[in-house]
Structure 1
Amino acid sequence: MIQIKHAILLVLLTFSSSIFSQTTYPKITGYFGIMHPLVSINKDETTVNFRDYYAIGFPTGINIWKSEKIGFSFEVVPNIKDDQGTSKVNNLLFHPGVLVALGHGYTFAGRLAFETSGRYGVTPVINKTIKKNANSSYFVAVPLPVRFGNDHPASFTVGFQFGIAF
């Protein structure tokens, strides 16, 4: 009789540990990063960060994963620009979007973009987790912003981002 109780207890413990070890959805994660626009191109000019000026953004966001494969993300990015010795926050970007897990640590983020500078557009982003820990992970990303509006020509930018998710 004691052996049956032990067997039942063992089955229950095994079953309950497998339930609790699984990720439950929705799953909420946060992140913080540093983003450097590398080059921006429009019909009138090509500008290069670190040469023509220095610009940096600080993407901060929340991801809500509906399942292992798809989620929603909301990001806010204050941008600072130093041009000829004068630095200031020159823009605040609101960046909602959809997340698609591509496998092997890669994620695609398709974001809409609404800037306080009056510009708007889309930003496709390819993200790669490079180190995963128990409570955090480190990532690199390549954002490709396309912007319109505010009496400026359409522009395309290539950026590099790295950060931590938790």
Structure 2
Amino acid sequence: MKQIYSLALSLTIVVSLFGPVKAQTATPPTYPRMVGYLGVLHPLVTFDGNGSETNFNTYYVVGFPIGLNLWKTKQIGFSVEVVPIIRAENGTSRVANVLFHPGVLVNLGHDFTLASRLAFETSGRYGFTPVLNKIVKKGPTISYFVAVPIPVRFGNDRPTTLTAGLQFGIVF
């Protein structure tokens, strides 16, 4: 009988401490809202007046976008991004370029975002980059995304280029 009273007292204490179990409800974000992100960028193919050149062929280029997004409202925001770009070729690697990439964000719905970015590179090139971004897995504090950037670059006595890339990352 003592064991039953002991069990009943233990259950009463546990229930009173933790209370009834309730489902969590997501609270809508408030605006303005700031989020950060990190990613890995792989340029796939670059086109210019002389033809095309692919990454992973005779060299490997990879970028590491680091950025902050300031959402003014649910529909529109501002983003600033810095992208160190590493080039590995002939057995060596180096930071070949650093890209400063400010832009405007437009929420397209269904976890799609269009980023329209200006581009200023330490290599002397400049231009713009439209980026289509999709959140592929949403978490309570971290979300994962896939993006398709299409950089267009001018200047520095080189022909105009258009590149197609693939980017993966996390938003926090």
Listed as ranges, the matches of 1:120-159 within 5 Å are 120-159=126-165
> 1:61, 1:116 → 2: CA distance?
17
> 1:34, 1:87 → 2: CA distance?
17
Cα deviation, residue 149, structure 1: 0.2
Instruction: List 4+ stretches of structure 1 deviating above 3 A.
Output: none
Aligned residue-pair number: 148
1:39 pairs with 2:45: yes
1:119 pairs with 2:129: no
> 1:112, 1:50 → 2: CA distance?
26
Which has more radius of gyration? 2
Q: Which residue of structure 2 lines up, in the alignment, with residue 3 of structure 1?
A: none
> 2:151, 2:160 → 1: CA distance?
11
Q: Which runs of 5+ in 2 are unaligned?
A: 1-24
> 2:150, 2:89 → 1: CA distance?
22
Q: Which residue of structure 1 lines up, in the alignment, with residue 114 of structure 2?
A: 108
Match among 62, 72, 84 for residue 66 of structure 1: 72
Q: Which runs of 5+ in 1 are unaligned?
A: 1-17
The percent of aligned pairs where both chains have the same amino acid is 59
- Over 3 Å counting, the alpha-carbon distance change for 1:52 and 1:45 in structure 2 is farther
> 2:28, 2:105 → 1: CA distance?
20
Shifted more, 46-55 versus 119-128: the winner is: 46-55
Match among 76, 87, 95 for residue 81 of structure 1: 87
Matching residue's letter, 2:159:
P
TM-score (norm 1): 0.87
Match among 85, 92, 96 for residue 90 of structure 1: 96
TM-score (norm 2): 0.84
Cα deviation, residue 100, structure 1: 0.3
- Over aligned residues, Cα RMSD in angstroms? 1.3
